[in-house]
Amino acid sequence: MMATAFLGLSNSPKWHKQNYSYKNNNNLHKKYYSTDTNLGNYSKVVTDFLSDKNLNAVICFEDLQLRETKDKINEYSKNKAGIYLIFNKVTLDYYIGSASTNRFYSRFYKHLISLIGSKIVKNAVRKYGINNFAFIILELFPEEVNKENNKKLLNIEDFYLKSLLPNYNILTEAGNSFGYKHTEINRIKMKANYSEECRNRIGLLNRGKKLSEIIVERIKEKAFLRPSYNYSEQGLANLKNKSKPIILYNKDGTVYGEYSSIVEASNSLNCSIKSISRALKSNSKILKRTWYVKYK
């Protein structure tokens, strides 16, 4: 099942109120940013989701298990860049990411077919089956992505992430495909759920309370029994090196992802720490024949 519609998201910033022209295969395409939800010929669960989020999808692909659907995604996404959403039609969970020019199909294939993208998405696909997912393109970027305009795409992705707070992104601690750290989404979500009023109320409940002697002794005992770790100077140096942030670049020079450490990158990319370390030490800096990796 597949349908198309013009796109939009309510409360969008100034650059979401502009009209753009996008040229592909000698056909001129225009984008109109609207807060009206054009639902198209989607399944009911997708229609309800888009309506609830007040989203206008550019195009939605369902029946992802079919070869025909994969071919349609590949054909449609040629020479296009933008923002995509992977939707679980059973649990209503979703993942948001960005794709540079000619990368939509690559993102779709890695996340939903090869299962080497997000570990959360991978586990969900294995549990519920690819037939219970939809691949939705939320927005098309009006230019070919390069080093100069890559930041614009990052800003659009940030907007969707902060507005929709996708739970599949939040459950991972890695950055998104253009450098957004999802730990920031966690902070936003926690701030929203844990308001100033709640903090004041809890503060009043705890003010003036004293811990009993028994509780104090138990805390001391646990602290005393807690194992201490003595690291060698070399060990500390290694830990320090591993904590340095790293950046992955696509072969066209655009940023694929930014990670606070090798461990974080390893978890996100489903790639061993040793492989990343070897790539960082090598002259080519090439990782998995796909990216260039460097310390930030």
The total number of residues written for the chain in this structure: 296
User: Is residue 79 within 8 Å of residue 25, measured between CB atoms?
Assistant: yes
* 175 contact partners, CB below 8 Å, separation of at least 6: 181, 182, 257, 258, 259, 264, 268
DSSP letter, residue 63:
-
Number of Cα atoms under 13 Å in the Cβ half of residue 276: 24
The Cα 93–Cα 257 span in angstroms is 22
Split at pLDDT 50, 70, 90, the class of 128 is: very high
- Domains of the chain (ranges, CATH numbers): 44-164 (3.40.1440.10), 242-295 (1.10.10.10)
Question: Using one digit for the tens of pLDDT, what is the confidence trace for 72-126?
Answer: 999 999 999 999 999 999 999 999 999 999 999 999 999 999 998 788 899 999 9
Whether residue 62 has pLDDT greater than 80: yes
The Cα 126–Cα 265 span in angstroms is 22
The Cα 105–Cα 102 span in angstroms is 7
Q: Which helix (H) or strand (E) holds 136?
A: strand 133-140
User: Is residue 210 within 8 Å of residue 230, measured between CB atoms?
Assistant: no
Q: Find tokens 């999808």 and name the residue.
A: 57
Cα torsion 256, 265, 268, 183: sign: negative
The more confident residue out of 204 and 129 is 129
Query: Is 143 exposed, middle or buried (CB count within 10 Å of its CB: 0-12, 13-18, 19+)?
Result: middle
Mean pLDDT of the chain: 73
